Amino acid sequence: MVKPMIKERRGYSRAKRILSIEYRLYKSRRRPADQQWHLSTTEDIGPESLSFYSDYEYHQGDILDVRVVMSGVLDVFNGRGEVIRVDQKRMGACFFVAVRLIGQAAHPRSRGVQRGFCVPARHRSPGTRARGDR
């Protein structure tokens, strides 16, 4: 059986990328901010948003501090994001959290998100090229 096409609400496409993410609650109406960072992996990511799995329940409108790291060295994004969707998974052990990134322009490393995670030449192995390099 083929699933019917559902119109996407996103303005940009998202790429399936599994990267390390650190996050903590920065501001919420329901509870105080977290001092401790939590670790997880991203599900997919785009120029304006990302999604990941969390052991902690957040609510729409909460603001998170977010750090996304590629290979433990290169910061892909370091800033804040607003929770726009939270879905509890069937097993009930974790939550799928979608976050809209806030203030990307203030963080120069976040340009990697806009380039679709092309690794700059200075960080590539010798002899390798990105898709757009000639």
How high is the pLDDT of residue 4? 55
Greatest pairwise CA separation for the chain in angstroms: 52
- Give the N- to C-terminal CA distance of the chain in Å, as an integer: 42
- Are the C-beta atoms of 97 and 52 separated by less than 8 Å? yes
Residues 25-63: pLDDT tens digits? Answer: 999 988 888 889 999 988 888 888 899 999 998 999 999
How high is the pLDDT of residue 95? 92
Instruction: Name the 3-class secondary structure at 70.
Output: strand
How high is the pLDDT of residue 10? 54
How high is the pLDDT of residue 75? 77
Number of CB atoms found within 10 A of residue 93's CB? 9
Give me the residues of the chain with pLDDT under 50, please: 5-7, 105-125, 130-134
- Are the C-beta atoms of 86 and 59 separated by less than 8 Å? yes
How high is the pLDDT of residue 74? 74
Any idea where the domains of the chain sit in the sequence? 20-117
How high is the pLDDT of residue 1? 56
How high is the pLDDT of residue 98? 92
How high is the pLDDT of residue 48? 85
Please tell me the CATH superfamily of domain 20-117, with its number.
Answer: predicted glycosyltransferase like domains (2.40.10.220)
